Amino acid sequence: MRQLLLTAIVLAALAATPSTFHLPPPTFTQGAWQAAKDDTVITMIIADDYLASARYDLKNKKFYGTHGGRITSHNAGVQGIAEFDSEHKETVGKPFTMAMTIKGDVMKCTFNGIALDFKRLDDGNKHLTGNWRITQRAGADGKLAAIHTSGPRKTIKILSSTRFQWAAINTETGEFLGTGGGNYSFVNGKYTENIEFFSRDSSRVGMSLTFDGKLEWKDWYHSGKSSRGDAINEVWSRF
């Protein structure tokens, strides 16, 4: 299991104020991290006891793989249960451990004696930082309707202060349905995503999408146009 995860990695506010929305206490690993080897970029976002990592080639618009899951943090790193792995579905539902040491803005992740250095991109100290799951979506009539959230199939979005990654997954079957991510900004109620990887369609890489949004306690109201030009009106909730 550890070797499979190592392969995957190495190859691989809104309108709210602190009085209406409170971040959980940060962990020493929380935030966004990045490693690079030649043209390959490896990003890792850790927030709300969740880890999402992706491996891609931004220059040539190639997606290689992603994995993630719920974690607990301790002084020597993280351990958790895999919820998705685009290359090794058999690891879903199984435990994993990442040994980590941080010195300054560099985090050394070690697996079976092999280390990879990640540079900190941010410390996850903004109000969108967290593990989000889509809970409502507007239908043809424009009205928001609840989405079933108790089953194993779900769409999540993990955000740090500057990075995002979404993933559509099935935690029961291990099925991986797609992912995308990059960097984002949120200014004056405008949330903008700059896409750096997209597993389903590499032509989306380099696109910037801007949405209207507001944060009400644990709910993030999100509306605009998708990368295909379709209207979006959704609610995401923290988990």
Q: Which domains does the chain have, with CATH numbers?
A: 2-122 (2.40.128.280), 130-238 (2.40.128.280)
Comparison of pLDDT for 17 and 178, the residue scoring more: 178
Nearest CA-CA partner of 132 in 64, 221, 210: 221
pLDDT, tens digit (0-9, with 9 covering 90-100), for 123-162: 999 889 999 999 999 988 889 999 988 889 999 999 999 9
Comparison of pLDDT for 180 and 140, the residue scoring more: 180
pLDDT, tens digit (0-9, with 9 covering 90-100), for 98-115: 888 888 999 998 755 667
Q: For tokens 């300054």, what's the residue?
A: 104
Contact at 8 Å (CB) between 221 and 213? Answer: yes
Question: Average pLDDT, whole number, for the chain?
Answer: 86
Q: Is 16 left (phi over 0), alpha (psi -120 to 50) or beta?
A: beta
Q: For tokens 């108790």, what's the residue?
A: 150
Nearest CA-CA partner of 56 in 204, 160, 193: 204
Residues forming beta bridges with residue 186, ordered by sequence position: 191
Lowest mean pLDDT among 73-77, 120-124, 180-184, 219-223: 73-77
Given a cut of 80, is residue 2 above it in pLDDT? no
